Structure 1
Amino acid sequence: MKIGKYDLIPIETCKFALDGGAMFGVVPKMLWQNSNQPDEFNRVTLHARCLLLKSNNKKILIDTGLGNNWDEKFMRIYNVDYSEFDLIKSLQTNGIKTEEITDVIFTHLHFDHTGGSTILENEKWMPAFPNAKYYVQKKHFDWALNPSEKDKASFVTNRFLPLYENGMINFIDGENNFDDEIQILISDGHTFSQQLIKISDSSKTLLFAGDLFPFTSHIPIPYITGYDLQPLVTIKEKKEILKKACDEEWLIFFEHDPFTVAATITKNEKGFSVKEKFLSLSEL
């Protein structure tokens, strides 16, 4: 798929698992298990899917997945699976070397979105993309350093703090235009100042939705995660984004859905729902 000057390429990094109840909040299991089958520990499967934007002079990566070098306990709890793909191999499959990445835009700094941004070399955490500039909201970065008891386990500082220490982080303050085709939108429901990445030209729009819509099954308004810091804000944001997506025929890109890469949205008397699902962007 191409939007403006950019070729859009999904980058699969790994599979992992989170508690199904946490992923669907107050929605009963007998409803969500129809679309997201849990394992014997009540965990549902997620992908850590990034997006590469490639132009003649830019190679921009949106989020970096889980990365590697996790301990045995972490691997067991989250059922991390690299058997099909990991970040570096997926980039190499698409002809991209780590040193060629020019920019990394973080939606937010939870470990499943920043884990691949650093690598362990000689027992020291180093930037995985040595020539890249990294972008995150200043408000969110400050929160990540002093999170609440509810969300502190989601932030693993060795996956993003070395970037700051190496002078590679560029702070963004609020909604902004990254360039002519890339716009930064702000979402505060899941965590403070999550960045949603809108890529558009005169004919097509794709929204990298981060954790506002982890799965296609999160499109219905009540389906929100138990991880969200401000669930009522999430509901308000979902209504606003889905109306635009429906009216303007946006594609929603799903970072965590194990079956669907992107989808269009429709609305009927029951609310918003998925109109058409796509297994890859090459279909578009």
Structure 2
Amino acid sequence: METLQVGRATLTWLNGGVTHLDGGAMFGVVPKPLWSRKYPSNEKNQIELRTDPILLQIDGKKFLIDSGIGNQKLNEKQMKNFGVHEESSIDSSLNELGFGTEDIDAVLMTHLHFDHACGLSKWQDGKLVPTFENAKIFTSSTEWNEMKNPNIRSANTYWESNWKPVEHQVQTYEEAVEIADGLHMIHTGGHSDGHSVIRFEDGEELFIHMADIMPTNAHQNELWVLAYDDFPVTSVHQKQDWMKYGYQKQAWYTFYHDAYYRALQFNEEGEVIQKVERER
């Protein structure tokens, strides 16, 4: 498992499973000859997208960023359509580190699309129960409201099986919330109306988790947004703001979906100065 130290925070990437989604959808209006130079596709035009939660250890607390694809949460057709060749093994990842699901203090949900939220619940004795039994689950109030009341389009990604078993654990916020000293979730909108980013700042050290506003290293370009985005212009503006902010501070940018890089650090010109590669 890959790790990164940013100030007081230790980041460790867990094994949350994998999807393979259409490359054209993941890069919107960007022509394939451009995006394929930065991120490869298979013969079906699909690109590999990890669903790997990040374990944050800060001041004795343990937080997860998102929850993985879960286990036995998708039917056979969904497994095929979404290219799920591997499901979550978060239990094993935590056990290797000497922890269990009961040790997670909070799960920080950037948004609640199925590929981020399936891991919140698991099957036990024929019913769905919380995966992280002692954790608070943080998400924006906008995202939570849509999760429970999806529209005709979002019903395909906001599933009752992912929210009903954990409803009692959820804590919502409006614009921002401080989870721990220096660790904030900020509501951005864009990819979904309730989408949030995560920022941790400790002195001069900083990481920013852009979630699905910048799901892979190949999405660094401010104009390269997803066809899946509900509000693509908002995604562009938010990316502009957060890249400008992070470049000035030489921030680390961390990834949940990237199959090749766990994190990249950029200088003031947006050039990569350090990287954490995924062990493949």
Match of 1:216 in 2: 217
Does the CA-based 8 Å contact 1:219-1:274 persist in structure 2?
Answer: no
Match of 1:29 in 2: 32
**TM-score, reference length from structure 1:** 0.90
Provide the rounded CA distance (Å) in 2 between the counterparts of 1:189 and 1:153: 18
Does the CA-based 8 Å contact 2:260-2:278 persist in structure 1?
Answer: no
Give the alignment partner of residue 112 of structure 2, picking from 109, 112, 119. Answer: 109
Matches within 5 A, 1:51-90: 51-55=54-58, 57-69=60-72, 70-82=74-86, 86-90=89-93
Partner secondary structure for residue 79 of structure 1: coil
Provide the rounded CA distance (Å) in 1 between the counterparts of 2:273 and 2:10: 24
Q: Which residue identity does 1:237 align to in structure 2?
A: Q
> What's the offset of the Cα at 1:91?
1.6
Number of aligned positions between the proteins: 275
Provide the rounded CA distance (Å) in 2 between the counterparts of 1:260 and 1:168: 31
Does the CA-based 8 Å contact 2:110-2:211 persist in structure 1?
Answer: yes
Provide the rounded CA distance (Å) in 2 between the counterparts of 1:277 and 1:56: 25
Does the CA-based 8 Å contact 2:147-2:163 persist in structure 1?
Answer: no
**TM-score, reference length from structure 2:** 0.92
Match of 1:7 in 2: 10
Provide the rounded CA distance (Å) in 1 between the counterparts of 2:216 and 2:25: 13
Match of 1:231 in 2: 232
> What's the offset of the Cα at 1:179?
2.0
Distance 1:55 1:243, change over 3 A: closer
Does the CA-based 8 Å contact 1:242-1:265 persist in structure 2?
Answer: no
Structure 2: 5+ residue runs without aligned partners?
none
Distance 1:274 1:233, change over 3 A: farther
Match of 1:150 in 2: 153
Partner secondary structure for residue 211 of structure 1: helix
**Does 53-62 or 178-187 show the bigger shift?**
53-62
Structure 1: 5+ residue runs without aligned partners?
none
**Alignment identity in percent?**
28
Distance 1:213 1:273, change over 3 A: farther
Q: Which residue identity does 2:171 align to in structure 1?
A: N
